[in-house]
Structure 1
């Protein structure tokens, strides 16, 4: 059976490197990895990908912020999505009150570092919480830093704006009726497993895969396990 086109959405400050191992492992499926440019809302990102996608209908995988973009695409154009995979991501809007204000302060503080000291120096602080502790100061960690360093403070500012004003995707999850995979690193401190268990409860018939010995960057930290989960999802 011919595999569907697979649209793979990167997360915050990520590029095609975040999906490189899966693109290679799933070589039988035509893959498309977009760039959001300076889009500054989740909806703008979703519309951009829908315009650029090389097929009318496709399988859709999103990592981190890319998972939120995937859910917005499912809201805007559900008929175009054959199946959806959401990895190390979330679905709720920014919390109101003190919690939401604290998130905004933390994100803007990182942006200030990026503007004054450079993207790589910012990434060195930010990415510590993005990977399993055992991967600090390893080639995987350096690859994450290299990826972030390829972006600019202007892109970072646009994506922060998008995340601070992210929509609540609860109704989208509840409405999904296509084959749905949820995957999360066991040690993901940024988008924890509990959140993915909540998402699974919202999506009838969805499957949750826990990626062992992995933090938030599961596609790079445990590429074989993620690729295996995606391969099974594509033929489900």
Structure 2
């Protein structure tokens, strides 16, 4: 988007953004610039080590009725928030994420990163973790990589350890997904290696009326890697009717972005 959209481009409820692992408002700087009324739940969830507690942290800091966008781990927090307070969520966006339970080897992989941080420091942990999270073009963008690196390092090891425990103990959402009745969009970067397109196809298959958008050339950090395309999709999601009629309307973001 080339111009700021102070009214969010619609009559939608206020936009609330839930960041992912080791992320904060710096991930969404371009989105907030385009939608100045948007609010990012910052503070790395105050060190919460369970998804349920992260959802409570967000609930205490948001308006009564919201348009809820969660990125990566933040999307899992968004689903838990929806479970706790469905009447407060007008619409839902799930970005670069998944809805599956922990898989074989996930605990070991997350603890291996934790141990790098313990043995070599946070900078070494992020240097190992970050590159696979970014698409090919993003890896060549020095300013972007520096920004993401600085953000993740600033989270600190204690935050990382708390957040991976939250992810490893995440609640099941299998029973929740079919009950979601608000306008729901799943968005993903085509080159997302951590949360690939197939995971988002599973999300839209499980949520009645949910729709999928794929951003070409972006990885897991898609909101920062491809902000113009991401902002366009967010604007179209905010313009969806906030009633059950949304299921009967087909939205297309000019094809895949």
Q: TM-score, normalised by structure 2?
A: 0.86
Aligned partner of 1:47 in structure 2 is: 56
Give runs of aligned pairs for residues 153-232 of structure 1, distance below 5 A.
Answer: 153-232=157-236
Gaps of 5+ in 2: 1-9, 241-257
Matched, 1:13 2:22: yes
CA contact (8 A) 1:6 1:60 kept: yes
Is 1:69 the counterpart of 2:77? The answer is yes
CA distance in 2, matches of 1:105, 1:2: 45
- Residues of 2 paired with 1:37 and 1:31: CA distance? 17
Distance 2:233 2:57 in 1: 27
Check 1:30–1:195 CA distance in 2 against 1; reply closer, same or farther (3 A cut). closer
Specify the SS of the correspondent of 1:150.
helix
Q: Deviations over 1:122-165 (max 9, x none)?
A: 11111111001332252212211111011111111100100111
Pairwise CA RMSD of aligned residues? 1.3
2:17–2:38 Cα contact (<8 Å) kept: no
> Structure 1: how far apart are the matches of 2:215 and 2:173?
23
CA contact 1:5–1:32 (8 Å) conserved in 2: no
CA distance in 2, matches of 1:228, 1:31: 18
Answer whether contact 1:9 1:69 (CA < 8 A) is retained.
Answer: yes
Please tell me whether residue 56 in structure 1 is matched to residue 56 in structure 2. Answer: no
Change (3 A) 1:84 1:120: same
Q: Which residue of 2 aligns with 1:128?
A: 131
1:57-86 deviations in whole A, cap 9, x for unaligned?
A: 111000000000000011111000000000
CA deviation string 1:82-120 (max 9, x = no partner): 00000000111113xxx1xx2111111111111222222
- Do residues 140 (structure 1) and 144 (structure 2) align? yes
Q: Which residue of 1 aligns with 2:97?
A: 89
Number of residue pairs the alignment of both structures matches: 229
Q: Is the 8 A contact 1:63 1:89 kept in 2?
A: yes
Q: Given the superposition, is the C-alpha separation of residues 78 and 231 from structure 1 closer, same or farther in structure 2, using an over 3 Å criterion?
A: same
Question: Which is worse superposed, 18-27 or 187-196?
Answer: 18-27
Distance 1:210 1:153 in 2: 32
CA–CA distance in structure 2, aligned partners of residues 32 and 157 of structure 1: 22
Question: Take 1:115 and 1:14, find their aligned partners in 2: how far apart are those partners?
Answer: 20
